[in-house]
Amino acid sequence: MIRWIRQQLGFDPPHQSDTRTVYIANKFPQHGHYIPQRFADNRIISSKYTIWNFIPKNLFEQFRRIANFYFLIIFLVQLMIDTPTSPITSGLPLFFVITVTAIKQGYEDWLRHKADNEVNGAPVFVVRSGSLVQTRSKNIRVGDIVRVAKDETFPADLVLLSSDRAEGTCHITTASLDGETNLKTHYAVPETAVSQSVSRLESLQAVVECQQPEADLYRYHSQSDHRNPPHTVRSENLLLRGARLKNTKEIFGVAVYTGMESKMALNYKCKSQKRSAVEKSMNTFLIIYLGILLFEAILSTILKYAWQAENKWDEPFYNQKTDQERNSSQILKFISDFLAFLVLYNFIIPISLYVTVELQKFLGSFFIGWDLDLYHEESDQKAQVNTSDLNEELGQVEYVFTDKTGTLTENEMQFRECSINGIKYQEINGKLTYVFVCVYTFQNGEEELFLKAVSLCHTVQISYDQTDGPGDPFSHANGFSPQMEYYASSPDEKALVEATKSCLSARRYKLLHVLEFDANRRRMSKGLRTLVVACRHFSADEYQEVDRRLHEARTALQQREERLVEVFNFIEKDLELLGATGVEDKLQDKVQETIESLRLAGIKVWVLTGDKHETAVSVSLSCGHFHRTMNILELVQQKSDRECAEQLRRLARRYNTLLVQGPPVQRVVTQDHVIQHGLVVDGASLSLALREHEKLFMEVCKNCSAVLCCRMAPLQKAKVSHLTPCPITLAIGDGANDVSMIQEAHVGIGIMGKEGRQAVRNSDYAIARFKFLAKLLLVHGHFYYIRIATLVQYFFYKNVCFITPQFLYQFFCLFSQQTLYDSVYLTLYNICFTSLPILVYSLFEQLVHPHVLQSKPALYRDISKNSLLSFKTFLYWTFLGFCHAFVFFFGSYILMGEDTTLMGNGQVSVSPASLPSSLLFSYSRSCVSVAGLLLC
């Protein structure tokens, strides 16, 4: 805190220059004038409050709410002026609401503190004083040499100094950062790669000069000064916090970015406060009721002065005014009376509405986690609620934006078929099959060369769970075993190598006869991820030249990437086509049924994927996102704004033409498959469309029942989910590259898949499989919305019923600001007398059986567009409240009849002190009793 204050005042600027100098092992210069730079510690902070700022910060946030701020003003008015009710009537409910809300928010923040402490307190090993010392993650400093073992995550951004591998390489996965499950190879700085012992690392005298922290995960440039000349350090030498070490026993790295300055922390986007449509409606209704309150207070004040201006209304004997009161300013007196009426009627605003709603959401959210239908037995995962503020929003979704790989599919690549020399082969039971010959031995070498290329040209690493003692590390090379694990730079490579290793496990390649077909005319199966395999033959001299150029490019200190690209372009030309492979990423269970249910519920589904056009369309067709009879519109391969705009206009005209020229039945039945349209757009065309033609693009999209966006970057996914701010949107994905999309949508759902937990941690809800989305929306969303809509309308209704008799009573007491109700009733009516019944109702009410809601998705449309909280419905409840208030008041008045304790001149036959306890108390008790019977 002190450091932050000093930075704000300019005494302690966080960075003095555009670069930072990191002394390895914190060996600072011992001669000359040296001022060490100050860096952030290695703590990760995701919590919102601290012990010191919780009370002021939480109070500030709570009083930003209209109802809380209003009751605070009323409470202060009651303290300042003489009002007909005690300040306790407003202060006690306000204190109760603020306290309950603070406890709930404090508990949620305590959970965030607990998660932070687990990360910050994780044990790590650092090299200090010539030995390995165990410490906590939060104690790592910039310049520390850190040891990381296999399967551990990197506690900070490290420059790789050395590994247990002789070549100084290591393999990592970055699923928690960018959602990629593939294996990446990183290299140690050449000058330090041989320093594989603690003693040698301790003796290092080196400096890393790098740029200040930035969010780009793939950009890093620095220099390490180790016995001149300096070596250029690039992104392949940097290990990012959150990544995991794989297939490498241990590595040593120097920390260059720590804590909130690490690239992972800089890429973390703070979740914006999402507000549901119900909360927005509540705020609108509160403003309307505030207007009603002001109208009643102003009218009562005017009528008081109008009636008391007549001489016949003399001051009663028991309320004679002093000379000072008679001679006081009329303006101040008018304002004082107005404030008194405002306090008298202020209970028309339901102070306990917010706390009851929050309590209902918090308790109701447990039903999602308890639902066994949302439990996935194979992975032992149940549904998870990260925020309970959006429960009712699940019943208002109009658009679903979904990722494809890992969300609609299993993200488990399996080799299915290949094409060699124009002939198609399929994989069945671990062997390649094709037509014509039962047992076939390769004669021309084409098939053998193809399989060798697939088997050898890859980045797959094999890891063995070795036991202590001698053993052959290649004992499982000819087959698969539980001890062998494959790591690859892409899931496609892993599937191909597993398949070819299986097919090549026999000494003689065999192809089995299954069926006959014209292979030259038959294309690869649709929906497969395809990869073309080609080769180029080099002579010995050519190979030596290529090897020399590659070595020079890889060891270049300047423009390394450009020189490598140049060499690769030289190698990859004049290639000879060998064939193509087809890998399947199969659909998850019941994806097609889920998408169909969402469509019948009136929800439009958009698929956003990074896959190529053909694969994405095939998967959309196979999962039911696109129907075979659907008219497919395309916006792909657009090169300029002008070309894109013209294509959009053609699509709009085509849609209108088809709709006008279609048969009458098609024009009426708009949900029929024949009239439906699907749109396919790629990332490049989408960028052009959103640049200057967003309105035209959205017009085309709104006319389509399904939209498929392919070749999408993560930021484009977020931009698409932000295109429709008015309809309620839901984004669902499983990878870290889906986080921005999840956070931009009104409701974000993470899939507990194989791409890390980043999407789950940043989502509002998390489920194990896409199929659970149907029940989450159609059942839980339906229940949540109806329950909370009824709760909100009821709260406003019951307060109208309660306080309107107070207003009517003023006509019978000459607007003397006499209260109708006892202070106990005013204090406890909202927080005790009427909150529990509606809370129980809003937790357990089921108007329709869950099985009916799932079997009839069209029922979801009945509650769409916030229909139960529309202005028309709100007016109905308000009108009903006023009608019942008249019944309560005049019903009680008639039941009591003429009270004989009052004489004609206003005097009573009993002691004046008995007036409030005899008449007003009994009358208010009658009103409250009647109201309570009817409301409950």
- For 108-130, the pLDDT digits (tens) are 788 888 888 888 899 999 988 87
Pick the last residue of a domain from 209, 235, 267. Answer: 267
Share of the chain above pLDDT 90, in %: 17
- Is residue 411 within 8 A of residue 405, CB to CB? The reply is yes
In a domain, 188, yes or no: yes
| Residues 735 and 626 reside in one and the same domain | yes
| Residues 727 and 636 reside in one and the same domain | yes
In a domain, 608, yes or no: yes
| Residues 749 and 770 reside in one and the same domain | yes
- Tally of domains in the chain: 5
Report the distance separating Cα 635 and Cα 86, nearest Å: 68
| Residues 198 and 225 reside in one and the same domain | yes
In this structure, what CATH number is given to the domain that contains residue 389? 3.40.50.1000
Do β-strands 231-234 and 221-225 pair in parallel, antiparallel, or remain unpaired?
antiparallel
In a domain, 602, yes or no: yes
- Which pair of tokens denotes residue 150? 């296999």
**Domain span including residue 648:** 372-408+587-656+675-778
| Residues 436 and 496 reside in one and the same domain | yes
| Residues 416 and 493 reside in one and the same domain | yes
pLDDT of residue 752 exceeding 80, the answer is yes
In a domain, 527, yes or no: yes
Report the distance separating Cα 419 and Cα 845, nearest Å: 59
Helical residues (DSSP H) of 779-913, grouped into ranges: 782-809, 823-828, 835-844, 850-855, 871-896
Chain-centroid distance of CA 293 in Å reads 39
- Is residue 286 within 8 A of residue 67, CB to CB? The reply is yes
| Residues 51 and 84 reside in one and the same domain | yes
pLDDT at 922: 47
pLDDT band per the 50, 70, 90 thresholds, residue 315: low
- Is residue 648 within 8 A of residue 696, CB to CB? The reply is yes
In a domain, 320, yes or no: no
pLDDT 10s digits, 633-685: 888 888 888 888 888 888 887 766 544 444 443 333 444 445 678 899 988 88
- Which pair of tokens denotes residue 920? 């007003």
pLDDT at 465: 55
pLDDT of residue 440 exceeding 80, the answer is no
- Segment 389-407 mean pLDDT: 89
pLDDT at 873: 93
In this structure, what CATH number is given to the domain that contains residue 233? 2.70.150.10
Geometric angle at alpha carbon 834, from 831 and 801, rounded to 5°: 110
In a domain, 286, yes or no: no
pLDDT of residue 278 exceeding 80, the answer is yes
Report the distance separating Cα 584 and Cα 908, nearest Å: 93
Report the distance separating Cα 298 and Cα 305, nearest Å: 11
pLDDT 10s digits, 349-368: 877 787 788 889 989 999 99
Pick the last residue of a domain from 74, 103, 121. Answer: 121
pLDDT 10s digits, 587-644: 888 999 999 999 999 999 999 987 778 778 888 888 888 887 888 888 888 888 888 8
In a domain, 396, yes or no: yes
pLDDT at 223: 56
pLDDT band per the 50, 70, 90 thresholds, residue 7: very low
| Residues 769 and 638 reside in one and the same domain | yes
Burial 708-728 (b: 16+ CB within 10 A, else e): bbbbbebebbbbbbebbeeeb
DSSP 565: H
- Is residue 443 within 8 A of residue 621, CB to CB? The reply is no
| Residues 378 and 440 reside in one and the same domain | no
pLDDT 10s digits, 852-908: 999 999 999 999 888 999 999 999 999 999 999 999 888 888 877 655 454 555 554
CA distances from 680 to 165, 474, 710 (A): 47, 48, 8
| Residues 841 and 747 reside in one and the same domain | no
- Is residue 136 within 8 A of residue 123, CB to CB? The reply is yes
pLDDT at 181: 63
Pick the last residue of a domain from 749, 778, 807. Answer: 778
Which secondary structure element, helix H or strand E, spans residue 465, and what is its range? none
pLDDT band per the 50, 70, 90 thresholds, residue 338: confident
| Residues 404 and 429 reside in one and the same domain | no
The per-residue pLDDT of the chain, averaged, comes to: 78
pLDDT at 318: 58
pTM here?
A: 0.74
| Residues 109 and 141 reside in one and the same domain | no
Look at 719 and 15; give whichever has higher pLDDT.
719
- Segment 280-305 mean pLDDT: 89
pLDDT 10s digits, 150-199: 888 899 999 888 888 877 888 888 766 665 666 788 888 877 887 878 88
- Segment 820-838 mean pLDDT: 80
pLDDT at 499: 72
Helical residues (DSSP H) of 679-713, grouped into ranges: 683-692, 694-702
pLDDT of residue 61 exceeding 60, the answer is yes
pLDDT band per the 50, 70, 90 thresholds, residue 18: low
pLDDT of residue 270 exceeding 60, the answer is no
pLDDT band per the 50, 70, 90 thresholds, residue 375: very high
- Is residue 24 within 8 A of residue 189, CB to CB? The reply is no
pLDDT of residue 559 exceeding 90, the answer is no
pLDDT at 9: 45
Annotated binding site for ATP: 403-405, 493, 517, 529, 609-611, 711, 717, 737-738
pLDDT at 44: 83
User: Which residues are bridge partners to 925 per DSSP?
Assistant: none
- Segment 291-318 mean pLDDT: 79
pLDDT of residue 422 exceeding 80, the answer is no
- Which pair of tokens denotes residue 905? 């001149």
pLDDT 10s digits, 41-51: 888 887 888 88
Residue 187's φ and ψ, nearest 5 degrees, are -120, 145
Lowest mean pLDDT across 233-247, 322-336, 585-599: 322-336
Share of the chain above pLDDT 70, in %: 76
pLDDT of residue 447 exceeding 60, the answer is yes
Just list the catalytic residues.
403
- Is residue 679 within 8 A of residue 700, CB to CB? The reply is yes
Instruction: Enumerate residues 6+ apart whose C-beta is below 8 A from 187.
Output: 160, 168, 169, 236, 237
pLDDT at 510: 39
The region, left, alpha or beta by phi > 0 then psi within -120 to 50, assigned to residue 421 is: left
Instruction: Enumerate residues 6+ apart whose C-beta is below 8 A from 747.
Output: 274, 390, 393, 394, 397, 728, 729, 730, 731, 764, 765
